[in-house]
A = this chain, B = another copy of it.
Amino acid sequence: MSGKPRLTYVNGRGRMESIRWLLSAAGVEFEEIFLETREQLLKLCQDGSLLFHQLPLVEIDGMKLVQCRAILSYIAGKYNLYGKDLKERALIDMYVEGISDLMQLILVFPFSPPEAKEKNLATIAEKATERYFPVFEKVRDRKDVPRKLAFTTIRNFPKSFETAWPRLSCGKPIQLGRCSAHGSHFSSGGESAFCAFWVSSAAGF
């Protein structure tokens, strides 16, 4: 084994993408194994590699880490990407959990029964624009926020959401306030933003 972290997942972004981003931001090279069959997954379950029988799996420092948040927290902590003290960390956690709440609404949306789709979409749009984006826009615009807290995600999360929205809404327009004036580094609206929040908390974007 090379000593590099080894990431095992399917060949797609999904729940591993945020981990790839975070390792890249930390300047850490890693190896990847892409599973292609159910048998490969079952083998990992049987040999005890997957604590809860789920990917992603990251082998690092002699551990077999699972659970996305646990993995991200470990990497962020190890590579000093998680604020300078407990208070900054708490702020980062709060913003991350806020993004996560919004993303959860989006993730379960496709499973809405047909008669609830329009209402649920309206709820997502309302919460995004009235509850979540104003928080990120406010922090983004503050001059007194330490650079470590003025992370890329706060700057770009609304924009990344805007990119994802047409797929979600089948083209229905949404008013996202001032965020449309800003560029985006993200190819998708969910996990990447969740990750970049961590990443940029220390990288000082």
Contact = CB atoms under 8 A, between A and B. Distances in A.
A73 B70 CA distance: 12
Interface of A: 51-53, 61, 63, 65-71, 73-74, 77-78, 86-87, 89-91, 93-94, 96-98, 101, 113, 131-132, 135
A67 B51 contact: no
Nearest to A77: B86
B113 A90 contact: no
Contacts of A113: 113
A71 B61 CA distance: 28
B90 A52 contact: no
B132 A52 contact: yes
A66 B135 CA distance: 13
A90 B69 contact: no
Given A65-B94, A66-B94, A94-B70, A52 B89 contact: no
- Top 6 nearest A-B pairs (CB, nearest first) are A70-B93, A67-B97, A74-B90, A70-B94, A67-B94, A77-B86
24 contacts: A51-B94, A51-B98, A52-B98, A52-B101, A52-B132, A53-B131, A63-B87, A63-B90, A63-B91, A65-B90, A65-B94, A67-B94, A69-B69, A69-B97, A70-B93, A70-B94, A70-B96, A71-B90, A73-B89, A73-B90, A74-B90, A74-B93, A77-B89, A78-B86
B90 A70 contact: yes
Contacts of A90: 63, 65, 70-71, 73-74
Nearest to A64: B94
Contacts of A135: 51-52
A86 B86 CA distance: 14
A67 B74 CA distance: 20
Contacts of A52: 98, 101, 131-132, 135
